[in-house]
Each structure stands twice: as structure tokens, then as C-alpha cells.
Amino acid sequence: MTIPEPAGPDLAGVHAAWLPPEAFRAIGSRHTLVFGEGGLVGTVHDEVARACARYGGRVRRAEAGPYDLVLALTAGEPLPEAAAEVRPAEAVGDEGYVIARRDGVTVVLADGPAGLLYGLFHVVRLGERAFAGERRAEHHRPATRRRMLDHWDNVDVHPVMGQVERGYAGGSIFWRDGAPRGDLARVRAYARLLAACGVNAISVNNVNVHATEARLLTDRLGDVAAIADVLRPYGIRVHLSVSFASPVAVGGLPTADPLDEDVRKWWTGVTGRVYETIPDFGGYVVKADSEGQPGPFAYGRDHADGANLLAEALAPYDGVVHWRAFVYNHRQDWRDRSTDRARAAYDHFAPLDGRFRDNVILQVKHGPIDFQPREPVSPVIAAMPATRLAVELQVTQEYTGQQRHVCYLAPMWREVLGFRPWGPGGAAVADVIGGGDLVGVSNVGDDPYWTGHPLAQANLYAFGRLAWEPRLDPAAVLDEWIDLTFAPVANGDVERSRHTLHAVMDDSWRTYERYTAPLGVGFMVRPGHHYGPDVDGYEYTPWGTYHFADRDGVGVDRTRATGTGFTGQYPPPWSEVYESLAGCPDELLLFFHHVPYGHVLRSGSTVIQHIYDTHFAGAEQVIEARRRWEEAAGLFDPSLHARVKDLLDEQVRCAQEWRDQVNAYFFRKSGVPDAHGRRIP
Ligand code: GCU
């Protein structure tokens, strides 16, 4: 198996992201042994060979040393001497590896070929450091079994949502105008980038499954198989979003009732054909009874009935069904204050705990509503001990600036993964999904920089790395990304580029939070496309009501005492902390409580003054980020620098619009002037 040069002629003009050829310099100039058999070992060999062709090193599959680098499978016989010395006492698992350096030889040992590939990319990350001094054996294993990206890509261009739903980076890399892209070189390069940060599963079509996309399961399965072939050499499995109504939509049956015998047979037959075509197929992703998608409710069945139907069909092949918990009433009456969208996932799913087959993975958005810049962690995560759970993050920046704003999301994800639903002594979210799945909605398209905003690449990279090791420090992940992406190709002063990127990115999520909806209240975005401010945009719509601002106060009362009772979905201590006005963390205050504008926060500021202060500060911080970036012209590739600069101009404009609309809105409602006398339009 030979892998074409990813940055070859077909990819001319596409940014190399975190794998510029120069990132392989340290490996490419050395002597390497790649020892073992299996498809992915071939990938490892080809990666090293390509680097050697560029930098003058040498790679062998057998033959006596000496070597600088040995990449070996533990099962190989006889194990090369350097590797035998660091052979671990216990197995490191299919995807794990050991890295060590002794007597001038760097060794990566893995039980399985995927582990060897991940070990190779570890060496790439270390660069020259991999070949210096001694290194005691370190064991690396992924914290999660599946590190998965969901693409919300449509095969057809959807009249409202376009080719990629909530996509901000151009068209799909898989599909174009109703057909697969013939040339999959871009997909191959994507797979390589993903393997380098640890991603091992992709779902290739939108969770909202329209007519053409439903056929991917049947007569267009070959298109999916072609993508699977390209992803396989990088250890990535393909999953497919399917419509619950497929038996009707593409199977010609009169019903999709999960308890109907013909429906069961249909899913069994179709799934068998999927596995004949794609033997390592991962499984199905399902959005059912959600925002208009069909589901089991139509037949008076529940979601355990629905999910188990598909799980049963997948079970003989070790396939899984990712069943999304994003189920809520999107046709509610804003006058009805008892309906609370935040409650919905728990109300639907917690009673079903224990009823799902063990190849059902309930996929839960990290917050109870919908990927807002600040939400509490979803209470579903603590409520279903007898169900396998995946947490879903949104890498695509639907509600966080749409890849026009710099918003490095790793600090938010780190908070989510580190949150302890049972309090300080209990397990963290990362432990709950440990050995399970972390899923992200991809932010990639056919844009030359992959992600529209070049700095949004860091979110994709960080997603993979945090899925592998949820305890990583976001600033350290950013450094890894900088070292791979920018250091090898830096125009001069690497440390200055690093300082600039940290200054612009480290706190960018909190900056975004400051100039948008305050104190966890959420939304306030323009309905439909969700970009830019519209304080009352959703307030009187059927989708949910989010702030309840009047002349006296703002926020949603979700307490048990006087509100929707949502706080009761948390175990203690959070059920008490969130219930209590005094105990509730400031950043979530308006998510849980309706308070007067003069309410004094834990910070000492009043709510209204906090709104003014954070909005002025957030907009200023974006201006400062732009200044730092402008100062760094010359340190970065000129076209990348220019693209980011243009986007920062837009971010400054948009942040000021947010500031002015939010401040003006609350000044007009409350009549309370800014304590510092700043101009509020
Ligand atoms: C959000 C988003 C939709 C998406 C949905 C989902 O509501 O705006 O475009 O389909 O999430 O996660 O299913």
C-alpha cells in the first residue's frame, strides 16, 4: 500500500495544517526500523519513508541496525534488541504505545498497528526532543475508545442549510452538489491530520437526513465504501447518519415501527449488506424525534425501542448506534412558562436507563440546551449509570463566532470534561465517558485552510487531543499545535509567534462570552443563521425562551422552589448549589435564576453593571487581539496573516455590535445608567 504525497499537485493551495512536511524533519534525517505486519504498519512505514526521501534518512522493515528510531509491534519475532529491552510487562491495548529512549535509540512499541501509528505521531510531536538524552518508558493509552467527528454534511445542497449544515469552511470535503467528490485526496489528507491528533471515527453525513442522504444506506452505499477505503489506512472507521424512517423512505415498507417484524428484518438485511460492503463499518448515528426528524414516538414507542432496533441489527458485527439525546419540543408556546427546553433530554432519557442494549451509545450534548458558549454540564451525564454515554461537543462554531471570530474552545471543553457531577470527591465527566466516546461536530470544509478561520484549526486539533487525554492543559495543547503548525515553517522568531498566538487565543472563549449573552443566559443570536446579536430574537418563538428580561430583572428561574425544577435533575451537591441564589456560580446565574438588575453577584458587581462591564471589556479585548496580530505581520505566512487580519476586523465590528445591542437593550429595559458613565447608544 503506497500513500500518495498528501500535499501533492491535487492539493496544491491547501494548507498543511499541523502536518507540514517540515514537522517530520527530525525523523526524516535519521535511520528508522519499522517492524511488524498489518495495513497500518504500512502507513507508518510510508510516512517515515516520505520524510526520509525529503531529509536524507533511511527506513527499513527488517535488517540489523544501528537505528536511531525503532517502531515495532510487540508481537513481532524476534523483537529487535532495542525494543525487547523496553517491552512492557502488561499490554498497552490496541491503540496504546510505549515510548522510551535508551543508549541512543528511541523506541516505540505497540500491541496493535493503530498504536504504532499513534506512537509515530507522538515522535513527530516531540521533533528533535525525541532523539535527545534518555527517556524512561512512558505508556500512552487513549482515555476514550471512540474519538469521533460527526460531519453535518449534505450530499445535496440543502436550500436553507447549504452543503454543510452549520458549516463555516466552504463545501463538504466528501460531497459536492448531490454526488461524492471523485477525488478523495483531500479526504486522505484529512484522515492523516485526524490520525495525528488521535481521531478514529467519522460520520460522513448530516444528522438531519434528507432524501438523497437516506440512500447512502442502500443504493449509494458504494459512495460510503469509497470514503471508508481512504480513511482505513489511518485507523479511522466510517459511521453513517441514518433516518429512523428509512424502512419507509428507502425500503418501501408501510411503517418504521420498531416493534414491527418486517421492520426488524429490513434493518437486519440492510445492515448485513453494509457490512458485506464495508467490513469495518462503525455503525449508525441517529437523530430521532428531534427538530422534525422521524422517530419512534410516531408509533407510540419510546427511544429504547427505537435505539435497540438498530442496535440489534448492528450487534453481530460489533457495530454501535449513536443515539442522540437531543430531543425536545421545538414547537412550544412561549406563553407557557412550564415548558423548559433544558429539562427535555433528562425527562425523555433518564427513565430509560438500563433499557438500552450495550451497543447503544446515548450521545448527549455537553450542555442541556444547545452548544451555547456557557451552559452547565448536562444532568443526563450523571443520570444514566446503566447506559453507555458519549458526550457531544461542537467543534464547528455555530454559537461561538462561526469561524469568523477567534474562539479557542479547548478551555471550555476542559471544564466540561473536568466537571464532577457528584461533587469534589466524585468522578469527573471524563471518567464517566472513560473507555467510551467523545464526539465532536466537525468544523472542516473544502476551504484552503480547512476551517475557514486558520486559527480554528486549533479547535479540531484540540478536540482530538482532549478526546485522547481529557486532562491535558489547553495552553499546552495550543503549544503542541503551534509547534507542529507554525514552528517548522516560521518566518523567523518562533517565540514571538508563540506569544502572539497565546495572546490572541488563550482567553478567546472567555472574551467571546464577555461580549455576547451574559451570565449563562444563552442564545440572543439572530434566529436562523445564529450569527450576531438579536437579544429578543428567540424570545417569542416556538424554539424556547431564554432570558425573560423585563424592566426589573432577567434570567430563567429553573429552581425547584419557584421555577421549572430543572435544578432537581442534578445530584447533590449541584442540585443545591444551583438552586441557591447565593451558591450559584456567577457565570451560570441567569441560566438558573431570574434576578433583579441590582442583584449583587459573588464578584461584588451588580448584574446590570456586570453586563455593561463585560461587554465593554470583551469588545476592547478583541481590539487588543487585533493589535497583537497586526504587530506580528512578518512572523507568519503573509496570506495566512492577511486572512486572520481580515477576520479580526470582522470580529471587532461584530463584538462592538454585540456590545452596543446588549448594553442598549438592558439600559432601556432597566433605566440603570453605567456607573462609569460610558456611552451606551
Ligand atoms: C442545532 C443546530 C441544528 C442541528 C441541531 C442538532 O439546533 O442549529 O442545525 O441540526 O443543533 O444538533 O441536531
Which range of 174-178, 210-214, 597-601 scores highest in mean pLDDT? It is 597-601
165 Cβ inside 6 Å of ligand 1: yes
Ligand 1: residue whose CA is nearest its atom 2: 166
DSSP H or E segment with residue 345 = helix 344-349
**Mean pLDDT score of the chain, rounded to an integer?**
95
Distance of alpha carbon 342 from alpha carbon 397, whole angstroms: 21
326 Cβ inside 6 Å of ligand 1: yes
Distance of alpha carbon 51 from alpha carbon 40, whole angstroms: 17
Which one of 22, 213, 312, 398 is the catalytic residue? 398
Which one of 223, 312, 340, 370 is the catalytic residue? 370
How confident is the model over 515-536, as pLDDT tens digits? 999 999 999 999 999 999 999 9
Q: Letter for the amino acid at 220?
A: R
Question: At how many degrees (to 10) do helices 474-485 and 494-505 cross?
Answer: 140
Instruction: For 226-261, give one letter per residue: b (16+ CB within 10 A) or e.
Output: bbbebbbbbbbbbbbbbbbbbbbbbbebeebbbebe
Ligand 1: residue whose CA is nearest its atom 7: 370
483 Cβ inside 6 Å of ligand 1: no
The DSSP bridge pattern shows strands 320-324 and 360-365 to be parallel
Distance of alpha carbon 30 from alpha carbon 28, whole angstroms: 6
Cα 172–Cα 175–Cα 181 angle in degrees, nearest 5: 115
Pick from 206, 322, 375, 398 the residue to mutate for probing ligand 1's pocket: most ligand atoms within 8 Å of its CB: 398
Ligand 1 centroid to residue 460 C-alpha, Å:
19
Residue percentage of the chain with pLDDT more than 90: 91
Ligand 1 atom nearest 206 alpha carbon: 10
Bridge partners of residue 73, in order along the sequence: 110
Q: How confident is the model at residue 1 (pLDDT cuts 50, 70, 90)?
A: very low
Ligand 1: residue whose CA is nearest its atom 11: 370
Pick from 203, 323, 326 the residue to mutate for probing ligand 1's pocket: most ligand atoms within 8 Å of its CB: 326
User: CATH assignment of 512-556+594-670, given 3.40.50.2300, 3.30.70.980, 3.40.190.10, 3.90.1330.10?
Assistant: 3.90.1330.10
The verdict on whether 398 is a catalytic residue reads yes
Distance of alpha carbon 249 from alpha carbon 241, whole angstroms: 14
Ligand 1 centroid to residue 277 C-alpha, Å:
30
Ligand 1 centroid to residue 81 C-alpha, Å:
54
Q: How confident is the model at residue 631 (pLDDT cuts 50, 70, 90)?
A: very high
Pick from 290, 291, 363, 526 the residue to mutate for probing ligand 1's pocket: most ligand atoms within 8 Å of its CB: 291
166 Cβ inside 6 Å of ligand 1: yes
Ligand 1 atom nearest 441 alpha carbon: 12
Averaged pLDDT, 12-22: 94
DSSP 470: T
Ligand 1 atom nearest 165 alpha carbon: 9
The verdict on whether 291 is a catalytic residue reads yes
Domain boundaries, the chain: 9-140, 146-480, 512-556+594-670
Judged against a pLDDT cut of 50, whether residue 581 lies above it is answered with yes
Only one residue has cell 502536518, namely 19
Decide: 145 and 199 in contact? Cβ < 8 Å. no
Decide: 466 and 477 in contact? Cβ < 8 Å. yes
Q: How confident is the model at residue 381 (pLDDT cuts 50, 70, 90)?
A: very high
Judged against a pLDDT cut of 50, whether residue 3 lies above it is answered with no
Ligand 1 centroid to residue 290 C-alpha, Å:
9
Residue 639, CA distances (Å) to 140, 168, 459, 494, 648 in order:
37, 19, 21, 18, 14
Ligand 1 centroid to residue 230 C-alpha, Å:
28
Q: What local confidence, expressed as pLDDT, does residue 140 receive?
A: 97
Ligand 1: residue whose CA is nearest its atom 13: 207
| Its pTM surpasses 0.95 | yes
User: CATH assignment of 9-140, given 3.40.718.10, 3.30.1370.60, 3.30.379.10, 3.10.129.10?
Assistant: 3.30.379.10
Output the 3-class SS for 208-274: CCCHHHHHHHCCCHHHHHHHHHHHHHHCCEEEEECCCCHHHHCCCCCCCCCCCHHHHHHHHHHHHHH
Judged against a pLDDT cut of 50, whether residue 8 lies above it is answered with no
Output the 3-class SS for 277-302: HCCCCCEEEECCCCCCCCCHHHHCCC
Decide: 288 and 303 in contact? Cβ < 8 Å. yes
How confident is the model over 76-99, as pLDDT tens digits? 788 888 888 888 888 899 999 999
How confident is the model over 384-437, as pLDDT tens digits? 999 999 999 999 999 999 999 999 999 999 999 999 999 999 999 999 998 899
Q: Letter for the amino acid at 201?
A: A
Pick from 150, 166, 328, 341 the residue to mutate for probing ligand 1's pocket: most ligand atoms within 8 Å of its CB: 166
Instruction: For domain 146-480, give the CATH number.
Output: 3.20.20.80
Distance of alpha carbon 403 from alpha carbon 66, whole angstroms: 48
Decide: 174 and 204 in contact? Cβ < 8 Å. yes
Which one of 63, 177, 183, 291 is the catalytic residue? 291
207 Cβ inside 6 Å of ligand 1: yes
Nearest to 113 by CA among 85, 71, 153: 71
Ligand 1 centroid to residue 677 C-alpha, Å:
40
Q: Letter for the amino acid at 325?
A: A
How confident is the model over 306-357, as pLDDT tens digits? 999 999 999 999 999 999 999 998 999 999 888 999 999 999 999 999 999 9
- Where helices occur in 398-493 by DSSP H, the ranges are 410-418, 429-432, 457-468, 474-485
Judged against a pLDDT cut of 60, whether residue 7 lies above it is answered with no
Q: How confident is the model at residue 236 (pLDDT cuts 50, 70, 90)?
A: very high
Q: What local confidence, expressed as pLDDT, does residue 88 receive?
A: 84
Decide: 388 and 361 in contact? Cβ < 8 Å. yes
